[in-house]
């Protein structure tokens, strides 16, 4: 089963493929930095918070 997402301009993106690739990147990150004691949800929360800190909505 594939789930497709359409951008406003009609470009189709397979969200299942993106999800699998993204999960693979996070798993590789966890392995590389020996973060096996953290689950994917915890790593995702950390990366989200780090992103909010490094890339704020307004840069003033």
Confidence of residue 7 (pLDDT cuts 50, 70, 90): low
The pLDDT value recorded for residue 31 is 93
Q: Are 4 and 19 in contact (CB under 8 A)?
A: no
Using one digit for the tens of pLDDT, what is the confidence trace for 15-57? 677 778 888 889 999 999 999 999 999 999 999 999 988 888 8
Q: Which helix (H) or strand (E) holds 54?
A: helix 40-54
Secondary structure (3-state) at 16: helix
The pLDDT value recorded for residue 57 is 81
Distance CA 31, CA 14 (A): 26
Distance CA 10, CA 32 (A): 37
- Sign of the dihedral defined by the CA atoms of residues 40, 44, 47, 49, in that order: negative
């Amino acid at each position: 089963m594939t789930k497709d997402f359409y951008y406003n301009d009609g470009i189709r993106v397979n969200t299942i493929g993106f999800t699998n690739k993204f999960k693979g990147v996070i798993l590789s990150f966890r392995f590389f930095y020996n973060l096996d004691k953290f689950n994917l949800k915890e790593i995702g929360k950390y990366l989200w918070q780090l992103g909010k800190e490094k890339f704020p909505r307004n840069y003033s």
